[in-house]
Each structure stands twice: as structure tokens, then as C-alpha cells.
Amino acid sequence: MAKFRVPKVVKEFSDHFVKGGFSLYIVGGAVRDYYLGIKNSDYDFATDALPQEVQKLFRRVIPTGIKHGTVTVLFKGATFEVTTFRIDGTYEDLRRPSSITFVRSLEEDLKRRDFTINALAVEASCGKLIDQHEGLEDLERKIIRAIGEPLKRFNEDALRIMRG
């Protein structure tokens, strides 16, 4: 398995978090696509920094989904979505959690994701892959597998069936 090649702008972005005492991980489609050999420059990030802490690290921050821990950072011509590690409460509308709780653990955050192939994370500072749900193996075997109990995952967010 090849190490994830972190683009220069992402490394520079990550340096701000590291200097602030926070961790930053590339998550989602960019990681999955990288290991599938698909070019993707749409980077999403997960961090232990709270949204207000991210706002202190950068000058240009848009509170796009701050209620759910998400801000958009404009950095050196790039637009990066950054979400604080979290766990989700109950899903009352089959789409979004009615509440969320911020956590300091990437491992807890990855447990709430839909499929193993979407729960891959990469340390933005060095390119190290974090794969606690064997998502890379599922990618190689062309398997889409829910994290945890599939029925529970699909009842949380009905659109997950379509994404699978």
C-alpha cells in the first residue's frame, strides 16, 4: 500500500493545526478515491479543534454548519471543509442527527460514518493512513460494508442506501 501523498497546500494547512496543538485528518472521498487511483482535489478534514478554535487559527472562516461542528476555511486559494470530531445523537428525520456531541477522538468520530470505505483517514501532517474498520481491504475486494449494524446505519440516514 502506497503512502498517501499529501499536497503541499494541505501540509501547510495542517501546520496551522499542529502549531495550535491540534490534530488534522483528511477524511472521506479524497482518501477513498486516492486508494482507488481516482484524482480528487476536494479535501474534507476532521479535527479535535472546536469550530471556535479553528476560527482563531485562520482569518477567512465561514460557519457553514457550525451547529454540527463544520466550518469552511479559505486558505491559499483552496476551500477546505473542517469538522470537529463528533458522535451523533438520535436521527429523528431519517437524515440528520437531532444532536451531536464533540469528542476528542478520531476513532470515535470514524465509528459514526456509513461505510468502511468512507471511514478511512489520513494524518494531514505526514500521510499516515488510519484504517480501523478495514476499509482499504474492502476497497481492494470491491465490497461496500456498513460500519456496525447495517439496519441501524440505514435507519439513521436513509440516503446511505443510495450512496452505497
Asked if residue 128 has pLDDT above 90, the reply is yes
95-99: long-range pairs with CB below 8 Å, 24+: 95/157, 95/158, 95/159, 96/68, 96/157, 97/68, 97/156
Q: Which percentage of the chain shows pLDDT scores above 70?
A: 87
Q: Which domain holds residue 85?
A: 8-163
Indicate whether 61 belongs to any domain.
yes
Tell me if residue 146 falls in helix, strand or coil: strand
pLDDT of residue 67: 87
State the pTM of this model: 0.90
* Contact yes or no for 18/118 (Cβ under 8 A): no
Alpha helices by DSSP H, listed for 46-97, are 51-57
Indicate whether 132 belongs to any domain.
yes
Tell me the per-residue pLDDT of 51-65, one tens digit each, with 9 for 90 and over.
999 999 999 999 999
Round to whole Å and give the CA distance between 60 and 125. Answer: 21
- Higher-confidence residue: 147 or 120? 120
Asked if residue 104 has pLDDT above 60, the reply is yes
Domain at 42, CATH number = 3.30.460.10
Indicate whether 139 belongs to any domain.
yes
Using CA atoms of 53, 100, 153, 37 in order, give the dihedral in degrees to the nearest 10.
-10
